[in-house]
Structure 1
Amino acid sequence: MLQLDGIDKTDDRPPYRQIAAVLRAAIESHQFAAGERLPSEADLIEHFGVARMTVRQAVQELRGEGLVVSEHGRGVFVQARPPIRRLASDRFARRHRDEGKAAFSVEAEKSGYSPRVDSITVRRQKPGSVVAERLRVPVSDDVVVRSRRYLADGQPIETAVSYIPVAFAAGTAIEQTDTGPGGIYARLEESGHVLARFTEEVGARMPTPDERRVLNIGLGVPVLTVLRTAYDVNDVAVEVCDTVKVAPSYLLEYEFSAR
């Protein structure tokens, strides 16, 4: 018999969220250790006295939080590896570009994950007012827009949309699906825009329905938003990047002077 709390009928939360909370507490208290398989779907249905879909919704919520992973034909296992650590002071270091690696690949590999990028689209369009202000371009000007999704071990964890002035991207690999080794920033530097600094605005919110679908996250799981602007040595804004990250999949680390 499972040593887990049951559903409280006086609780206002839906049953699947109660089940998710019970399993989450068991994982956090190490009742289920990292790498250990959770009770089977049939066992959970019997223990909680709920329908199969209710159990699946609960597991989906935990999967969206990055606490568990599903392995086809084997079951659901407690995630054994930590979130990706995003170290702001190192992620855009030129040495990574010189090695032909983009920031996400470096961070994911350091955390023990296999990185992948998919859903890449490239187009030209008019910028919104926020992007135009940061790029210091008129809203009537076209910009190159690059959208993509990032995955760690096949699990979607982030979407990103970059906006680059056409003057800096036209005729370069930035307008191609594959930007080549080192990514967008390597191509910008090759064209003379040597990067000097970045600014970032970090926020947190609940995801939109489309974001939940694209990132495969459950109900109640928040996302982090990071709006970054890149500047070259002449203090020209060369890119704005709008990212949405599955909050439990990341640790954001910043280093700054106390002076």
Structure 2
Amino acid sequence: MSTGPTDARPLQVRVADDLRMEIETGRYAPGQKLPTLDELAEVNLCSLAVARKAMDLLRQQGLVVTQQGKGTFVRERPSARRHGIDRYSKSRWRSGKPILTAEAEAQGHTAGQMMRELGVTPAPEKVAERFDIPVGTPVWVRRRTTLVDDRPNQLADSYYELDVVDGTLIKEEQTGPGGGFARLEDVGKTRHGDDYELDEICEEWSVRMPTGPEGVALRLPAGTPVIDLIRTTYDSMGRAVEIMLAVMAGDMVKMAYKFKIPD
């Protein structure tokens, strides 16, 4: 155990920090079994209670998982999917692939989704504010759980004003080639002319710890945060046409943006 005369960390924190360093430097690889509490206590000249508290700290931080009757193991990290400006490239969804599928495939992953709800719902405050409509106004919602490499990675709820989606496949489980973005552009061109297109996206991100139901739905190990994403899509007429509220597994997301520095 690394220590010194000026080390004021509690003993369990020092034990946890040393074990974390061994995990981060690769001495203990993902999936590898860690020392038992007895072994940890013996090596660090501490009590079982201290060893248990140290392991609890690492579990809360999402670094280790315990399997009943088998022991404690280094948590295997899922592959993170990068989010960047190019994920919304028109060439991707205009070619017929939904955004999630195209982005996942480009990064060597597989993607899918499970529909949780399709229907009319009262607009929640965050949605009403961005559509500039009263809270509670009926809107259309598509609630789905998306998966990357067969693990749930986000709970995504997309909202639309009713006049935007009436008569479109957005009201069906299968939205057709290119997904919802392609259908929004199709209906816009039909109603407003060939110059119509989706034009601008605003993303708002925040990080928090998950609720119990979110942790279960996303299969989150203890100590794993979630990311709240609010995505607003505007058309070339300046109208917000889709608002997505997503809760994303924090260990499966990596943000990577490259853009010109504004004047």
Normalization by structure 1: what TM-score? Answer: 0.75
1:75-122 CA-partner distances (Å, limit 9, x unpaired): 9786477411111x2111111112222222222223322212114321
2:230: which partner in 1?
Answer: 227
Q: Please, which of 132, 140, 146 is the counterpart of residue 128 of structure 2?
A: 132
Q: Distance in 1 between matches of 2:56 and 2:115?
A: 26
CA drift of 1:39 comes to 2.1
Q: Please, which of 232, 246, 259 is the counterpart of residue 243 of structure 1?
A: 246
Q: Please, which of 131, 147, 153 is the counterpart of residue 157 of structure 1?
A: 153
Runs of 4+ in 1 over 6 A off after TM superposition: 56-62, 75-78
SS in 1 for 2:26: coil
Q: Is the 8 A contact 2:131 2:240 kept in 1?
A: yes
2:82: which partner in 1?
Answer: 85
SS in 2 for 1:227: strand
CA drift of 1:134 comes to 0.5
2:101: which partner in 1?
Answer: 105
Q: Is the 8 A contact 2:124 2:136 kept in 1?
A: no
Q: Distance in 1 between matches of 2:137 and 2:241?
A: 14
Question: Which region of structure 1 is more displaced relative to structure 2, 106-115 or 216-225?
Answer: 106-115
Q: Is the 8 A contact 2:93 2:102 kept in 1?
A: no
Q: Distance in 2 between matches of 1:57 and 1:108?
A: 34
2:32: which partner in 1?
Answer: 38
1:254: which partner in 2?
Answer: 257
Q: Is the 8 A contact 1:229 1:237 kept in 2?
A: yes
Please tell me the residue identity of whatever aligns with 1:175.
K
Residue correspondences, number? 237
Which stretches in structure 2 are left out of the alignment for 5+ residues?
1-9, 42-47, 190-196
SS in 2 for 1:90: helix
Which stretches in structure 1 are left out of the alignment for 5+ residues?
1-9
SS in 2 for 1:133: helix
Mapping 1:1-259, distance limit 5 Å = 24-33=20-29, 37-39=31-33, 44=36, 47=39, 79=76, 82-87=79-84, 89-192=85-188, 194-258=197-261, 259=263
1:3: which partner in 2?
Answer: none
SS in 1 for 2:159: strand
Q: Is the 8 A contact 1:82 1:111 kept in 2?
A: no
Report the CA distance shift for 1:171/1:254 in structure 2 as closer, same or farther (over 3 A).
same
Report the CA distance shift for 1:120/1:22 in structure 2 as closer, same or farther (over 3 A).
farther
SS in 2 for 1:91: helix
Please tell me the residue identity of whatever aligns with 2:89.
A
Q: Percent identity?
A: 29
Q: Is the 8 A contact 2:77 2:251 kept in 1?
A: no
1:29-83 CA-partner distances (Å, limit 9, x unpaired): 11134xx64128xx74764588xxx9x9999868x67x89x9xxxx978647741
SS in 2 for 1:151: strand
Q: Distance in 1 between matches of 2:22 and 2:109?
A: 25
Please tell me the residue identity of whatever aligns with 2:184.
L
